[in-house]
Amino acid sequence: MWFRKKETVHTDEKILPQHIAIIMDGNGRWAKKRSLPRSAGHVAGAKTFKDIARYCNKIGIRYLTVYAFSTENWKRPKEEVDGIMNLLRDYLKDATNFKSENIKLNFIGDFSPLSEDIIRLIEKDEAESADATGLQVNIALNYGGRDELVHAVRKLMQSGKDADAITEEDISEAVYTAGQPDPDLIIRPGGEYRLSNFLIWQAAYAEYWFTDVLWPDFSAKDLDRAIETFAGRNRRYGGV
């Protein structure tokens, strides 16, 4: 397809979203359809994540933010939460993750309730990929948009900045995605039409693309379709 070639992208950078965000939803239903435990859906979803991240890097996307675990997902049965955390642990331990592919790993969210070994692995993976110059992947873990804003407000107040002087830029610099462009395109597979507390500050002018395809079945072709639709959108930002 036309946007697959980096040279083509280069000649019209506006067409390719710089920052794509994905709500990786539908793992449980994917497993249920196959009479498998929900954990099997999460395993399959983790594989899809790796494939899609590699594909984004290949076609020249700069930032990919994925919703892996929300501040609300603790409501799930302990067995499922433990399973997701173990899967995360395995993923983090696989130090060869994206190392050879020049992909930079960054985690966003409130890590304080995560176990100590997971926090250490996160720090290790971030440090090991810090110099990568390809795609930056942000993995949202115990992430909630409202929780993020609470932390940002606290940070701003603690900075001692005059309340009347606070700007939108200050808030953008106080949230987890500081220094990064806002997402241009937010994709939600799994058939639901909501944000579920994802990137609520950063999503103000994002374009949305929804599909009924369940996340473990999501393929590069689906991403191509989303990007193609995005390229045809007219982003006016309130102008004419």
Known catalytic residues are: 25, 73
Work out the burial of residue 29: count CB atoms within 10 Å of its CB; fewer than 13 is exposed, 13-18 middle, 19 or more buried: middle
Q: Closer to ligand IPE by CB, 78 or 236: give it.
A: 78
- Contact string (CB under 5 A) for Mg ion, positions 20-39, x = contact: -----x--------------
Site for ligand IPE in 75-104 (CB under 6 A): 84
Q: Within positions 15 to 34, which residues make up the interface with ligand IPE, using CB under 6 A?
A: 23-29
DSSP character string of 47-102: HHHHHHHHHHHHHT-SEEEEEEEETTGGGS-HHHHHHHHHHHHHHHH-TTTTGGGT
To Mg ion, the closest distance from the beta carbon of 124 in angstroms equals 29
Residues between 140 and 159 that touch ligand IPE (CB under 6 A): none
Q: Is 192 in the site for ligand IPE (CB under 6 A)?
A: yes
Q: Which residues contact 67 (CB under 8 A, 6 or more apart)?
A: 21, 22, 23, 24, 25, 140, 143, 196, 198
CB of 141 to Mg ion, least distance (A): 16
Contact 63, 135 (CB under 8 A): yes
Binding region for ligand IPE (CB under 6 A) out of 64-72, 98-106, 124-132, 225-233: 64-72
- The footprint of Mg ion (CB under 5 A) covers 25
